[in-house]
């Protein structure tokens, strides 16, 4: 059996043992009593097995990190640990933490604030060294006593004894209260104020935790009530990426035939008028239906009463960025111009501001389509009516700044200078030439 290079020389062992005492100062008596892997690390190091010592140190770090997660909020942790939806169902209890890789455990702990950003980088380096310089894998890496002692101190400082900061402690309290009792108005007001003080990304973490708790089947009715009360107050502080992420999670639930959870997820999205964050495949279907319904109610009796409801729904789907699936753009623009021009007998007063807002979200392509809409026979017929003619002038004023191409600008000027009524535009030979010059 080989003997050279198996054990680290005595000088390095002495260096480890001399500096270990200083590293252990951070542990109280109770923590020392339960740190079995640290004891094994010191024993392995004292006989010169530094690679085994590093392995034991990592075992202690992971064990303590799992304890911190269990003592915090497991559901909140799992919902923030970058776990694929397909695996999320199998992760429920503290025992399930062993199913996560060490890397996932570290990332999740960082995201929920159980370790600091600097601590994460230091611990992740130790994880790397454990994988490539310990007894866990064959290697030729030489470890020193000072390195091991320094890593021990890092693990003690950044994992075992690191206190929760104020925000992390408040989040723990919040998640516990949401699932343990009905929340009164005073607490909800305090929590809303807390949301305003959240550091970057923490709102996303809380939202992920609440979303996960809400979509967990079997949750107490008061838990669902609590989340519904908090969700609109938190939403303004949630990032765009996180909002789209909730729409993606809904799509995955539906794709996996998790209909009951999908219904719950949709409730939260609808609660904050978040339809704009739905996945494209859902958005195309629902926006197409909303466009058709808007035209139907516009043409029906009581349109003044019914249009606002459908217009609000369409605005939710379009979102603040005016995002419309490409295959619906022409239908969307034509319908919106049709309802904005009115039926000639009066405006849908409550719907008109919504129409103006949606037209205000037009991009240059949508504005170009609206400019040339007079060439459509149905819209041209509308433009015979005085009220619709007045609305046409209003439309031109709104889209003016959005018309960018030279041919379109020339057409806009010609339309403004046209001496006849706008219903005659499509018949004018000069206007037809401007139309023919436009890109198809």
Q: What is the DSSP string of 189-253?
A: HHHHHHHHTPPTTHHHHHHHHHHHHHTSTT--HHHHHHHHHHHHHHGGGS-HHHHHHHHHHHHHH
Which pLDDT score is estimated for 80? 85
Please give the pLDDT value at position 366: 96
How many angstroms separate the CA atoms of 59 and 36, rounded?
10
Note whether 151 and 247 are same-domain residues: no
**214 and 327, same domain (yes or no):** no
Q: Looking at the structure, do residues 196 and 260 belong to the same domain, yes or no?
A: yes
In a domain, 78, yes or no: yes
Asked if 108 contacts 85 with a C-beta cutoff of 8 angstroms, the reply is: no
- In a 13 Å sphere around the CA of 179, the CA atoms on its Cβ side amount to 19
pLDDT at 210 over 80: yes
- The tens digit of pLDDT for each residue in 99-119 reads 998 998 999 999 888 888 899
Domain co-membership, 237 together with 310 = no
Distance CA 28, CA 163 (A): 14
Q: Verify that 293 and 183 share a domain, yes or no.
A: no
Q: Are residues 268 and 318 in the same domain?
A: no
pLDDT at 133: 65
Q: How far is CA 86 from CA 90, 211, 255, 257, in A?
A: 9, 17, 11, 12
Give the closest residue to 288 by CA, choosing from 139, 296, 129.
296
Residues 6+ apart with CB under 8 A from 407: 434, 437, 438, 439
The answer to whether residue 363 is domain-embedded is yes
Q: Are residues 101 and 182 in the same domain?
A: no
Is 4 domain-assigned?
no
**Residue 142 clears pLDDT 80, i.e. is over it:** no
Do 32 and 81 sit in the same domain of this protein? yes
Mean pLDDT in residue range 401-406: 92
* CATH code, 415: 1.25.40
What is the spatial distance between Cα 276 and Cα 129, in angstroms, rounded to a whole number?
A: 45
Does 3 map to a domain? Answer: no
pLDDT-based confidence at 140, cuts 50/70/90? very low
The reported pLDDT for the residue numbered 132 is 75
- Quote the CA–CA distance of 122 and 116 in Å, as a whole number: 10
Q: Which residue has the tokens 């219903």?
A: 423
Considering 135, 160, 185, which residue would you say is the last residue of a domain? 160
> Is residue 5 assigned to a domain?
no
Q: What is the mean pLDDT of residues 219-247?
A: 94
Q: In the block, which residue shows the tokens 């023919």?
A: 436
Find how far residue 206's CA is from the centre of its chain.
11
pLDDT band at 438 (very low <50, low <70, confident <90, very high): confident
**Domain finish residue from 142, 160, 178:** 160
Average pLDDT on 256-277 reads 90
Residue 392 and residue 308 in one domain: yes
Examine residue 69 and state whether it is found in any structural domain, yes or no: yes
Pair 211, 249: CB distance under 8 Å: yes
Nearest CA to 214 among 283, 275, 263?
Answer: 263
- 86 in any annotated domain: yes
Quick one: pLDDT at residue 255?
80
**Residues 123 and 171 reside in one and the same domain:** no
Structural domain including 50 reads 10-160
Assess if residue 2 is contained within a domain: no
**Count of domains forming the chain:** 3
Same structural domain, 77 and 23: yes
End residue of a domain, out of 272, 289, 309:
272
The per-residue pLDDT for range 382-394, each reduced to its tens digit, is: 999 999 999 999 9
Looking at residue 57, its pLDDT comes to 92
Q: Note whether 182 and 315 are same-domain residues.
A: no
């Amino acid at each position: 059996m080989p003997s050279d290079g198996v054990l680290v020389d005595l000088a390095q062992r002495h260096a480890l043992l001399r500096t270990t005492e200083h590293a252990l100062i951070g542990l109280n008596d109770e923590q020392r009593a339960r740190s079995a892997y640290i004891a094994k690390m010191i024993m392995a190091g004292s006989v010169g097995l530094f690679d085994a010592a590093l392995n034991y140190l990592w075992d202690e770090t992971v064990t303590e990190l799992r304890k911190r997660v269990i003592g915090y909020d497991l559901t909140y942790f799992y919902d923030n640990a970058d776990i694929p939806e397909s695996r999320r169902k199998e992760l429920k209890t503290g025992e399930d933490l062993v199913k996560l890789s060490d890397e996932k455990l570290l990332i999740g702990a960082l995201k929920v604030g159980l370790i600091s950003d600097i601590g994460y980088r230091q611990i992740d380096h130790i994880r790397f060294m454990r994988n490539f310089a310990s007894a866990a894998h064959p290697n030729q890496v030489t470890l020193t006593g000072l390195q091991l002692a320094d890593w021990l101190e890092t693990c003690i400082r950044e994992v075992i004894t690191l206190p929760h900061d104020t925000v992390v402690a408040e989040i723990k309290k919040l998640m516990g209260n949401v699932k343990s009792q009905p929340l009164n108005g005073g607490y909800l007001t305090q929590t809303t104020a807390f949301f305003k003080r959240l550091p970057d990304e923490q709102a996303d973490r809380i939202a992920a935790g609440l979303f996960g708790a809400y979509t967990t089947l079997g949750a107490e009715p008061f838990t669902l009530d609590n989340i519904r009360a908090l969700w609109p107050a938190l939403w303004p502080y949630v990032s765009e990426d996180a909002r789209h992420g909730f729409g993606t999670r809904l799509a995955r639930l539906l794709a996996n035939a998790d209909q009951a959870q999908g219904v719950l997820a949709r409730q939260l999205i609808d609660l904050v008028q978040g339809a704009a964050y739905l996945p494209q495949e859902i958005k195309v279907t629902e926006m197409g239906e909303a466009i058709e319904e808007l035209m139907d109610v516009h043409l029906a009796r009581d349109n003044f009463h019914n249009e606002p409801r459908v217009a609000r729904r369409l605005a939710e789907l379009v979102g603040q960025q005016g995002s419309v699936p490409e295959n619906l753009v022409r239908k969307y623009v034509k319908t919106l111009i049709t309802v904005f021009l009115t039926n000639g007998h009066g405006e849908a007063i409550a719907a008109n501001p919504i129409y103006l807002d949606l037209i205000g979200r037009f991009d240059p392509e949508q504005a170009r389509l609206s400019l040339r809409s007079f060439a459509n026979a149905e819209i041209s017929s509308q433009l015979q009516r005085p009220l619709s003619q007045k609305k046409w002038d209003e439309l031109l004023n709104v889209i003016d700044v959005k018309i960018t191409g030279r041919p379109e600008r020339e057409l806009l000027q010609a339309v403004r200078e046209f001496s006849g009524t706008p219903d005659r535009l499509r018949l004018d030979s000069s206007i037809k030439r401007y139309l023919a010059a436009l890109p198809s």
